[in-house]
């Protein structure tokens, strides 16, 4: 049975993580995998998470199974965080939320659900998008096509071309949008652009599917949810997948959520029964720990405040580093204008280098980044910034 299996390449992003670990160069810099790092290069457990874990250790009195939808309290609080309390209350029974094994689990659960009710539906994804969207959505059977999004030469969104492509989508189609902090390009839709896409969805009837993996890492928890909330308020149907990996620093605990909005309470109840059956067919129930931590934090005002304060520091550090990188590269006398990096949001931006230039950074300078020249801004610190800027300047000049 297993004699003739083809060897597949590893996930290039996770492969970089392993290569970085093996490298003995004391100047090595890791700008690969999208994991937040502090000034010391650590990915800390957030204070509120530690406190919630202590609380759970002391008070959790059972490890009995949870439901396919996970814990009600997590689902309730995460829906409030994503949609805002007022809107979430207004949505009432038209909205259902499922706790999922990370954002990835939510993306796959949503795709499997759509495949069940609309086999082979088409989903339009941005060019470029997160590489994992392809297997997470495509392996479920959805037909993936792309719409123009980021202009790598002018460093902006190709909005007219995007709208042109989306205007050809109809009621049998899904359109995947990044809620905020676009991965990999960092260029987000403006509020006016969100409004235009929402109008188009209303007119043409396509269903937006929003992946929001970085709520709170761009401009703020509410600001980053602008597009999600506008669409949830304006449209009768919407899929939103959110992740707690980055904003709660819970990566390995696999904590996320799938929220579905439909036109009526009855349709949502029927869809929820299908989603529960889909989850049963894949993993029965999501892992508990990360979701229990998040619910504990969101239920407790003091923990919630402390979490938000620490998240604010994360956000400020990333935004400060964006400015510092632009300045440091300019000080190297580089001709190209990198100021677009300062305007972009979240953990990622493209440096705009060729694959050859990227390979030189990796091989000659031990600066690790993916071939597309996407960098994780949080991997920069004030210690490695001068080395990084001078190395970038060198490969650009040669």
User: From the CB of 238, what's the least distance to ligand TYF, in Å?
Assistant: 22
Judged by CB under 6 A, the stretch of 11-19, 294-302, 312-320, 361-369 that binds ligand TYF is 11-19
User: From the CB of 280, what's the least distance to ligand TYF, in Å?
Assistant: 24
Residue with tokens 């600001």: 223
- Our finding on whether 34 is near ligand TYF (CB under 6 A) is yes
Among all residues, which ones are annotated catalytic?
130, 211, 246
Alpha-carbon distances, residue 139 vs 51, 144, 239 (angstroms)? 38, 10, 18
d(CA 277, CA 283): 10
Judged by CB under 6 A, the stretch of 36-44, 99-107, 287-295, 314-322 that binds ligand PLP is 99-107
Q: Which is nearer to ligand TYF, 51 or 378 (CB)?
A: 378
Contacts 24+ apart (CB under 8 A), 264-270: 264/94, 265/92, 265/93, 265/94, 268/93, 268/94, 268/95, 268/96, 269/93, 269/96
d(CA 287, CA 99): 9
C-beta separation of 124 from 138 below 8 A: no
- Our finding on whether 211 is near ligand PLP (CB under 6 A) is yes
Judged by CB under 6 A, the stretch of 9-17, 93-101, 225-233, 330-338 that binds ligand TYF is 9-17
Q: Comparing C-alpha atoms, which of 346, 243, 358 is closest to residue 291?
A: 243
First to last CA, the chain: 51
| Residues written for the chain | 398
Q: Which is nearer to ligand TYF, 87 or 213 (CB)?
A: 213
Binding mask 166-195 for ligand TYF (x = CB under 6 A): -----------------x------------
Provide the Cα torsion 370, 129, 242, 186; round to 10°. 70
Q: Which is nearer to ligand TYF, 206 or 214 (CB)?
A: 214
- Our finding on whether 11 is near ligand TYF (CB under 6 A) is yes
Q: How many residues bind ligand TYF (CB under 6 A)?
A: 8
User: From the CB of 130, what's the least distance to ligand TYF, in Å?
Assistant: 6
- Our finding on whether 106 is near ligand TYF (CB under 6 A) is no
Give one DSSP letter per residue of 100-146, joined into a string: EEHHHHHHHHHHHHHHHHSTT-EEEEEES--TTHHHHHHTTT-EEEE
- Our finding on whether 99 is near ligand TYF (CB under 6 A) is no
Using CB under 6 A, list all residues that contact ligand PLP: 34, 102-104, 130, 183, 211, 213, 243, 245, 251, 256
For ligand TYF, the binding residues (CB under 6 A) are 11, 13-14, 33-34, 130, 132, 183
């Amino acid at each position: 049975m297993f004699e003739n299996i083809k060897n597949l390449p590893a996930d290039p992003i996770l492969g970089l993580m392993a290569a970085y670990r093996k490298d003995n160069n004391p100047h090595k810099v890791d700008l690969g995998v999208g994991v937040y790092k502090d000034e010391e290069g650590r990915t800390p457990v957030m204070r509120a998470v530690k406190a919630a874990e202590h609380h759970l250790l002391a008070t959790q009195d059972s490890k009995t199974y949870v439901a396919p939808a996970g814990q009600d309290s997590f689902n309730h609080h995460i829906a409030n965080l994503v949609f805002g309390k007022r809107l979430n209350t207004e949505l009432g029974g038209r909205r259902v939320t499922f706790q999922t094994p990370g954002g990835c689990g939510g993306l796959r659960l949503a795709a499997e659900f759509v495949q069940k009710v609309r086999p082979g539906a088409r989903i339009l994804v941005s060019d470029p998008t997160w590489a994992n969207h392809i297997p997470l959505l495509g392996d479920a059977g959805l037909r993936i096509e792309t719409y123009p999004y980021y202009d790598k030469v002018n460093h902006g969104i190709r909005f007219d071309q995007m709208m042109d492509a989306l205007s050809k989508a109809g009621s049998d189609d899904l359109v995947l949008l990044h809620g905020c902090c676009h991965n990999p390009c960092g260029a987000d839709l403006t509020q006016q652009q969100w409004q235009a896409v929402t109008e188009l969805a209303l007119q043409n009837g396509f269903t937006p599917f929003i992946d929001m993996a970085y709520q709170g890492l761009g401009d703020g928890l509410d600001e980053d949810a602008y597009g999600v909330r506008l669409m949830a308020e304006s449209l009768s149907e919407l899929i939103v997948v959110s992740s707690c990996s980055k904003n709660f620093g819970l990566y390995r605990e696999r904590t996320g959520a799938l929220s579905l909005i439909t036109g009526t309470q009855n349709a949502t109840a029927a869809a929820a029964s299908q989603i529960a059956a889909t989850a049963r067919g894949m993993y029965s129930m999501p892992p508990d720990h990360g979701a229990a931590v998040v619910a504990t934090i969101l239920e407790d005002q003091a923990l919630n405040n402390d979490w938000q304060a620490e998240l604010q520091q994360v956000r400020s550090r990333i935004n400060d580093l964006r400015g510092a990188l632009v300045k440091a590269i300019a000080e190297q006398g580089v001709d190209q204008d990198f100021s677009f990096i300062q305007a972009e949001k979240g953990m990622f931006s493209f440096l705009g280098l060729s694959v050859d230039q990227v390979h030189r950074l990796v091989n000659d300078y031990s600066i690790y980044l993916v071939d597309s020249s996407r960098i994780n801004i949080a991997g920069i610190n004030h210690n490695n910034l001068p080395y990084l800027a001078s190395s970038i300047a060198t490969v650009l000049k040669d």
